[in-house]
Structure 1
Amino acid sequence: MTPRAGRGLALRLTLLNAAIVGLALLAVVVVMVWMAERAMREHLAESVAAEIEVLVADYLIDGLDGVIGFIEHREVFESPHHGRSYRLEDTTGRHLAGHWPDWPAGLSTDGRLLRLPNAQRQPPTQWWIAAARLPDGSRVLVAFDSIEVRSVMHTIHRAAALTVAASLILALVLGMLIYRAALAPIATVRSVAEQIIDGDLSRRIPERGSGDEFDALARTLNRMLDRISQLFESLRNSTEAIAHDLRSPLARHRTRLEQALLEAERRGADADWLQEAIAEVDQVLGTFQSLLQLATVEAGAARSAFCQVDLAAIVEDAVSLYDADAAARGMRIETLLSAPCPLLGDRHLLFQAVINLIDNALKYGAAEQCVSVQLHCAAGSAELRVRNQGAGFEHPERAFERLFRGDTARRSPGHGMGLTLVRAIARLHGGEATASNCRDGAEVRIRLPIAPSA
């Protein structure tokens, strides 16, 4: 998993956590706001009913004069978030007190509420109206404006919105902190895995000592890495042992063939088959030598002796070495180098990688064509491109497999280990090698990190 992917996962998990918290909080806030509005409306209805009861009780104590005085006293009080109005009529419908203009149609005196719009306020509110008949036959109405409910609910809505917003921000911040802490072990695993990919098979995932699932995972992965390392070491040792065991008798056999060839030449006998036998033995010895060198590179022993080298100078030396060979083939080598190009590495191995690429490009390129060698060093990395003109790779995806040779390549001398060694050297230096076909041939790229001191 790349760092960008890790950040993407942390962001997605944080947003998911914030969404869950936000939805849960929003549901709670909606229920609370609904219950608060319901309670306010019930309170307003109870206030209208209580006001009617107070007027009836005042009539029983002080008569109509007491009711009129009570209404006049109530209507004097004014507030932007409070509205009340009254109307008292005698038995003939004559207006006795209160500012309410006319008796509303449909309003009964049994205490049931009637709601009418109050267009004098913007946005409009409602009048909650109830009426009662007094013992002498007169009637009185009480109208309460719902502006008080709207004012209180506006405050509640604003507080709820601020609460939800603050909670979401807090959930995002805490979620990011929590998931950063939770993903820290994953970042450690990724870092160790990248070092192992670069060739350091001795690396292991550190345990935090917490005894949690991450420690259990680290122990499992470390056991797996130990087993893989044992198998790899066993395979490498077996390869080296086979190469060493077979190289010695083959070398002795080659010596005997050379002696036989000298005697055959002195006798004037036909020695072609002896020369072919020597060439075949050389081919097998070259394969074993390449296997041994590849095993040494993959083991990473050379990494401890890395020093700062100039890749541009290495490429120049390799091109100079092959200029005569290219001319003999009727080919030419064109270079475009970005100098200097400092690297931390092994000069001998880097030189080996470059000459392998140039040798392959010349060997499989079309006659009288050009081999291009380009080195670009910038932005923290160096990229070497070697391109030839010809048929290209038969299977680019298998170009770096050890001992793999295409049908066309089998007709040429070689053992199928050149590009395999190139990739191993690139990985030893923290880089990578890729092969591809281009419009008029094949191209191999090596990307390596430049030296930190540069």
Structure 2
Amino acid sequence: MKLGLATRLTLLNAGIVALTCVGVVALMVTLTDGYMEAHVEESVIAELDVLVADYVIDGLKGVEGFIDIRQNFNAPQHGRVYRLESADGRHLAGGWPQWPARLDTDGSLIRVPNLQRRPATEWLMAAAELPDGSRVMVGFDRIEHDTVMRDVYRAAAIGLGLAFALSLALGALIHRAALQPIATIRRSAETIIDGDLSHRIPHDHSRDEFGALSATLNRMLDRIEQLIAGVRGTSDAIAHDLRSPLTRHRARVEAALRQPPSPETLSDWLHDTLGEIDQVLGTFNALLQLATVEAGVARAQFADVSMTTVLQDAVSLYDAEASERNMTLALSLPDARCMVRGDRHLLFQCVINLLDNALKYGPAGQTVGLSLHCDADAVVIDITDEGPGVAQPDLAFNRMVRGDVTRQTAGHGLGLTLVRAIARLHGGDAVVVPSHRGARLRVSLPMH
């Protein structure tokens, strides 16, 4: 069975802590062992130096007396042995029975097993030759060293066990706290899957990674909810716009079945039907174009585009229509050429949608203002009219949204939606600018 992420992370954390503790404890044990070993060796050499110095001061009798005193006050936990021999090998002092075979009188240290202790230990011995040819030996039992090291090993084992247990507990707590936000995100996702699209991931607006992730996911959910609401609104609007013509066509077909119409009436019906079909096809074509723009396919064909030329061409295209409606197009252009990186056809479509919207809903005799200005960062297009204005600026760029006034005019409610989509495709945006009279729309594009 595969372990869960929290369990694996906890075990990994415990393993890392355990390995670290083992390394630290091993280093401490090694250093302690080295220190204790050096201490015993230094004690043996120091004791031997004392014996040699005592000979210099008091002679051989002084060494014998010193050894007797040492042995009389020798504590069991500090086992020490001595042997003093004359130049001809006679035993003079000390309790060690015979001279060790491997022991030289050059002060070098040897180890001799001490089988009298349980557990067995070792004697650490050294010897020196005195000026008269006699020799003296001293040995220290390593019992103190071994006892200390056994205590160190026992403490290390207990410490490692406690450290491992503590690392497991702390690892579980830390990873539980760290994985809690993930569990919160998972529960929120399940709530959203169940149909509550308004649900958002709760977070405390902290600046840590999970707080930033939750905030980003919430913004994504806001955008998804907006898109779904737009799709629903579009579906409702399309159903509403299709219902009326289909109802009329059904009524005409039923009437024709009951009583065939005259050729003139049939011709009028067919012309009306063609017009309404063209209107429906226009809506679907606009939706397809909008989907293509939002997919970003046109980015591969971006090139340098002069927005000055684009606005001039758009005004030339609509100048005649404005004159027919007794309207005036006022174009204001800067001296400099305002260049952007983009698709010229789509940018032209963006501008003519703005002009078409202003001319379509404005009163006769109005002046439609179209201006262009640019700075170091952005190219800005402003269009103003003297029409009814924008009743709901926050909904103006949504799909299939039409006000009560504009609904009386032919259209499909996707013109401004396409304007914003084209602007955002080019890294800009389209907004409604507050105006005391009429409507004022602004398109901002990054300067190239």
1:63-78 equivalent positions in 2, closer than 5 A:
63-77=59-73
Matched, 1:103 2:99: yes
Aligned-pair CA distance for 1:79: 4.8
Given residue 45 of structure 2, which amino acid in structure 1 is its aligned partner?
A
2:164 corresponding residue in structure 1: 168
* 3-state SS of 1:87 partner: strand
2:215 corresponding residue in structure 1: 219
How far apart, CA to CA, are the structure 2 residues paired with 1:211 and 1:70? 77
Contact 1:188 1:205 in 2 (8 A): yes
Aligned-pair CA distance for 1:45: 0.8
Given residue 131 of structure 1, which amino acid in structure 2 is its aligned partner?
A
Q: Which residue of 20, 25, 32 corresponds with 1:36?
A: 32
Aligned-pair CA distance for 1:142: 0.7
Aligned-pair CA distance for 1:119: 2.7
**Structure 1, 224-233 or 64-73: larger mean CA deviation:** 64-73
2:359 corresponding residue in structure 1: none
How far apart, CA to CA, are the structure 1 residues paired with 2:247 and 2:62? 133
1:93 corresponding residue in structure 2: 89
Contact 1:81 1:151 in 2 (8 A): no
Contact 1:108 1:131 in 2 (8 A): yes
**What RMSD, in angstroms, separates the aligned Cα atoms of the two structures?**
2.7
1:145 corresponding residue in structure 2: 141
Show CA shifts across 1:169-227 (max 9, x none).
Answer: 22222222222222222222112111101100001122313222222222211111111
Matched, 1:240 2:227: no
Aligned-pair CA distance for 1:260: 7.5
1:228 corresponding residue in structure 2: 224
Q: Provide structure 1 residue ranges, at least 5 long, that are not aligned to the other structure.
A: 265-454
1:129 corresponding residue in structure 2: 125
Given residue 167 of structure 1, which amino acid in structure 2 is its aligned partner?
A
Given residue 70 of structure 2, which amino acid in structure 1 is its aligned partner?
R
Aligned-pair CA distance for 1:74: 2.1
* 3-state SS of 1:53 partner: helix
Matched, 1:27 2:23: yes
**Structure 1, 164-173 or 133-142: larger mean CA deviation:** 164-173
Contact 1:130 1:141 in 2 (8 A): yes
Contact 2:206 2:212 in 1 (8 A): no
Aligned-pair CA distance for 1:257: 6.5
How far apart, CA to CA, are the structure 2 residues paired with 1:173 and 1:18? 9
How far apart, CA to CA, are the structure 2 residues paired with 1:86 and 1:247? 120
How far apart, CA to CA, are the structure 2 residues paired with 1:209 and 1:216? 8
1:433 corresponding residue in structure 2: none
Given residue 201 of structure 1, which amino acid in structure 2 is its aligned partner?
L
How far apart, CA to CA, are the structure 1 residues paired with 2:77 and 2:98? 24
* 3-state SS of 1:142 partner: strand
Matched, 1:205 2:205: no
Q: Which is higher, the Rg of structure 1 or of structure 2?
A: 2
Q: Which residue of 170, 184, 201 corresponds with 1:188?
A: 184
How far apart, CA to CA, are the structure 1 residues paired with 2:156 and 2:110? 31
**Structure 1, 252-261 or 80-89: larger mean CA deviation:** 252-261
Say if 1:262 and 1:121 are closer, same or farther in 2 by CA, change over 3 A.
farther
Aligned-pair CA distance for 1:137: 1.8
* 3-state SS of 1:143 partner: strand
* 3-state SS of 1:25 partner: helix
1:155 corresponding residue in structure 2: 151
What TM-score do you get using the length of structure 1 for normalisation? 0.52
Given residue 223 of structure 1, which amino acid in structure 2 is its aligned partner?
R
Show CA shifts across 1:80-100 (max 9, x none).
Answer: 543211111111111122221
2:80 corresponding residue in structure 1: 84
Q: Provide structure 2 residue ranges, at least 5 long, that are not aligned to the other structure.
A: 261-448
How far apart, CA to CA, are the structure 2 residues paired with 1:218 and 1:144? 70
How far apart, CA to CA, are the structure 1 residues paired with 2:140 and 2:25? 28
2:115 corresponding residue in structure 1: 119
Q: Size of the alignment, in residue pairs?
A: 260
